[in-house]
């Protein structure tokens, strides 16, 4: 474990302090190198690094940046996505708290590469505390001249100052998962309801206030300075070649040491769970793992051997990397109950613009509630699958898939769990409860689920 590089959250105590950050080469090494290059060369360096977005879709970052028009006719904006509302994700928060200046330096470099006029950091309202931390960091960076008009004198790579400056503003959200979707976030920042926009036009052509806009995740931004420091080539050799670098894996649920672990991409999932996160309490078996936040397809406990945590390998294993939020459920977990809760979340968060999503999420919830209460019929299993399947690909934004995937893949991979629930007079061998606060006194009990016969 010792030699795995920590690039996003290095082991430096007090790094959130601007002086400590500067003492460790901050606001100098990486950005100095960037400013000594032409903007297009910075984009090339990021392309060479193979960096892919950390916000969920793992889209190549350099490529995304290259979509921005070069001209100066309109203002250009950078929107940094700190909405972090996907259940199971709690990594960006660590950056706000422990390494905000590296995030800011990354934003400055990205802004230079795309010749951005103004960058907005959008942070979810629930993170009020962390919004204040980031606001403080931004204010400090302003007061030192690292952001804004004084940048020109502060950064002098080759004697004379750089001809570039950018403004950064922190914006606080007010509670809505859907605002994490990129075009919804643009509407929200503009002071509207957070409805996703139809694409095209794509943000690089018409984003915030109709101007060219790029949107990137917090962790993506924070990964940029190390790339400039070590060079794109060297970065591309860390972890999996098709999805290089380090990722912040947030591990939660039934593990002994939940938390955020920074590891190279391609780290085996079972190593993360068993070695880094300390394994499952009481040596219980794993029943199910959701590897990338609640909208990603769940994997069965017996499917985990050899699964590696990067975009391509996870895809091959039948799931997706998402935000790297790993949720572990032990053998006593009532999967139907958990899935019902997941369905409730997406039903609650659907913005209601598209019929398949608005109606479909309601149906998924209604059907799952029947299973949860022991009131479902055998035919409901296929109905559930059908409803999920018919949402996918028929909506404006990807919340449709986010709602459908967990349901569809749970039905496909845990069909027996559903079948158990439709047998009359069923007794579950595992307790019909989901928590593992089983420190003492909570003996596994057999629970009788009354199955109602319906005609």
Partner 1 sequence: MAIFSDAELQEISELQKRYPSPAAYLLPVLWRLQDKRGWLDDEAMEEAAAVCQVPKSHVRGVVSFYTMFFEKPMGKFHVQVCTNVSCMLCGGEELLADMKQRLGVQNMERTPDGMFSIEEVECMGACGGAPMMAINETFFEKISTQEANEVIDQVVANGNIPTPKFVQQMPELSEAANK
Q: How far is the CB of 268 from ligand FMN (least distance, A)?
A: 23
In the list 54, 254, 287, 385, the residue contacting ligand FMN (rule: CB under 6 A) is 54
Start-end of H helices in 3-99: 18-23, 29-35, 39-49, 61-66, 92-98
Residue 381 touches ligand SF4, criterion: CB under 6 A: no
Q: How far is the CB of 79 from partner 1 (least distance, A)?
A: 12
Residue 390 touches ligand SF4, criterion: CB under 6 A: no
Do residues 373 and 454 touch, judged by C-beta distance below 8 A? Answer: no
Distance CA 130, CA 95 (A): 10
In the list 131, 170, 255, 351, the residue contacting ligand SF4 (rule: CB under 6 A) is 351
Question: Smaller CB distance to ligand FMN: residue 50 or 180?
Answer: 180
Count of residues near ligand FMN by CB under 6 A? 24
Count of residues near ligand SF4 by CB under 6 A? 14
The end-to-end CA distance of the chain, in Å, is 58
- Please say whether the dihedral angle defined by the alpha carbons of residues 392, 394, 399 and 403, taken in this order, is positive or negative: negative
Q: How far is the CB of 361 from ligand SF4 (least distance, A)?
A: 7
Q: Is 314 exposed, middle or buried (0-12, 13-18, 19+ CB in 10 A)?
A: buried
In the list 94, 165, 216, 436, the residue contacting ligand FMN (rule: CB under 6 A) is 216
Distance CA 246, CA 66 (A): 23
Question: Smaller CB distance to ligand SF4: residue 8 or 343?
Answer: 343
Distance CA 194, CA 188 (A): 5
Tell me which residues in 351-410 interact with ligand FMN (CB under 6 A).
397-399, 402
Cross-strand pairs, 82: 123
Which H or E element spans position 348? helix 335-349
Start-end of H helices in 121-217: 128-143, 151-154, 182-189
Other C-beta atoms lying within 10 Å of the C-beta of residue 135: 16
Question: Smaller CB distance to ligand FMN: residue 105 or 182?
Answer: 182
Q: What are the CB-based long-range contacts (under 8 Å, 24+) for 364-368?
A: 364/388, 364/403, 364/404, 364/407, 365/340, 368/336, 368/339, 368/340, 368/343, 368/407
Q: How far is the CB of 232 from partner 1 (least distance, A)?
A: 26
Residue 358 touches ligand SF4, criterion: CB under 6 A: yes
263 binds, among partner 1, ligand SF4, ligand FMN, none (CB under 5 to 8 A by kind): none
Binding site for partner 1 (CB under 8 A): 6, 9, 11, 13, 75, 84-90, 92-94, 97-98, 118, 124-129, 167, 169, 171-177, 188-194, 209, 250-254, 257-262, 290, 294, 325, 327, 329, 333, 337-338, 341-342, 345, 348-349, 434-437
What are the backbone angles phi and psi of residue 296, rounded to the nearest 5°? -90, 150
189 binds, among ligand FMN, ligand SF4, partner 1, none (CB under 5 to 8 A by kind): partner 1
Do residues 394 and 353 touch, judged by C-beta distance below 8 A? Answer: no
Do residues 106 and 154 touch, judged by C-beta distance below 8 A? Answer: no
Residue 393 touches ligand SF4, criterion: CB under 6 A: no
Residue 220 touches ligand FMN, criterion: CB under 6 A: yes
Stretch that binds ligand SF4, among 40-48, 133-141, 223-231, 396-404 (CB under 6 A): 396-404
Q: How far is the CB of 92 from ligand FMN (least distance, A)?
A: 7
81 binds, among ligand FMN, ligand SF4, partner 1, none (CB under 5 to 8 A by kind): ligand FMN
Distance CA 310, CA 210 (A): 34
Residue 181 touches ligand FMN, criterion: CB under 6 A: yes
Question: Smaller CB distance to ligand SF4: residue 216 or 350?
Answer: 350
Question: Smaller CB distance to partner 1: residue 167 or 359?
Answer: 167
Do residues 323 and 86 touch, judged by C-beta distance below 8 A? Answer: yes
- Please say whether the dihedral angle defined by the alpha carbons of residues 103, 104, 105 and 106, taken in this order, is positive or negative: positive
In the list 395, 408, 422, 428, the residue contacting ligand SF4 (rule: CB under 6 A) is 395
Q: How far is the CB of 124 from ligand FMN (least distance, A)?
A: 8
Q: What is the CA radius of gyration of the chain?
A: 23
Tell me which residues in 82-141 interact with ligand FMN (CB under 6 A).
83-86
Binding-site ranges for ligand SF4 (CB under 6 A): 178, 196, 350-354, 357-358, 395-397, 399-400
Residues binding ligand FMN (CB under 6 A): 53-57, 59, 64, 81, 83-86, 178, 180-182, 215-217, 220, 397-399, 402
């Amino acid at each position: 474990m010792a030699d795995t590089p920590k690039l996003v959250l290095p082991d430096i105590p007090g790094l959130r302090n601007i002086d400590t950050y500067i003492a460790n080469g901050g606001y100098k090494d990486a950005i100095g190198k960037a400013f000594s290059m032409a903007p297009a060369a910075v984009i090339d360096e990021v392309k060479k690094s193979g960096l892919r977005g950390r916000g969920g879709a793992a889209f190549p970052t350099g490529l995304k940046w290259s979509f921005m028009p070069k001209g100066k006719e309109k203002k250009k904006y950078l929107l940094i996505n700190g909405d972090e509302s996907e259940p199971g994700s709690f990594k960006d928060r660590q950056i706000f708290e422990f390494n905000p200046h590296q995030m800011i330096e990354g934003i400055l470099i990205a802004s230079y590469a795309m010749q951005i006029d103004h960058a907005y950091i959008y942070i979810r309202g629930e993170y009020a505390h962390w919004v204040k931390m980031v606001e403080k960091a931004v204010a400090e960076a302003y007061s030192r001249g690292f952001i804004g008009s004084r940048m020109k004198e502060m950064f002098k790579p080759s004697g004379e100052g750089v001809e570039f400056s950018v403004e950064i503003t922190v914006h606080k959200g007010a509670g809505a998962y859907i605002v994490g979707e990129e075009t919804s976030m643009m509407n929200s920042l503009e002071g509207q309801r957070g409805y996703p926009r139809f694409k095209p036009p794509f943000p690089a052509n018409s984003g915030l206030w109709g101007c060219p806009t790029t949107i990137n995740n917090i962790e993506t931004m924070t990964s940029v300075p190390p790339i400039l420091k070590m060079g794109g080539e060297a970065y591309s050799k860390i972890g999996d070649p098709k999805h290089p670098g380090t990722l912040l894996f947030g591990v939660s649920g039934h593990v002994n040491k939940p938390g955020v672990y920074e590891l190279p991409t391609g780290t085996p999932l079972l190593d993360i769970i068993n070695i880094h996160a300390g394994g499952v309490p009481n040596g219980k078996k794993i029943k199910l793992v959701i590897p990338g936040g609640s909208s990603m397809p769940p994997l069965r406990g017996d499917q985990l051997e050899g699964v590696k945590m990067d975009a391509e390998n996870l895809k091959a294993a039948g799931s997706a990397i998402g935000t790297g939020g790993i949720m572990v459920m032990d053998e006593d977990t009532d999967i139907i109950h958990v899935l019902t809760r997941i369905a409730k979340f997406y039903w609650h968060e659907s913005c209601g613009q598209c019929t398949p999503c608005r109606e479909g999420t309601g149906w998924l919830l209604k059907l799952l509630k029947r299973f949860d209460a022991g009131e479902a019929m055998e035919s409901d299993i296929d109905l559930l699958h059908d409803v999920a399947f018919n949402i996918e690909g028929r909506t404006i934004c990807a919340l449709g898939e986010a709602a459908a995937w967990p349901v569809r893949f749970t039905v496909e991979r845990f069909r027996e769990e559903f079948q158990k629930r439709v047998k009359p007079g069923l007794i579950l061998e595992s307790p019909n409860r989901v928590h593992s606060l089983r420190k003492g006194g909570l003996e596994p009990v057999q629970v009788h689920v009354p199955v109602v016969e319906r005609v």
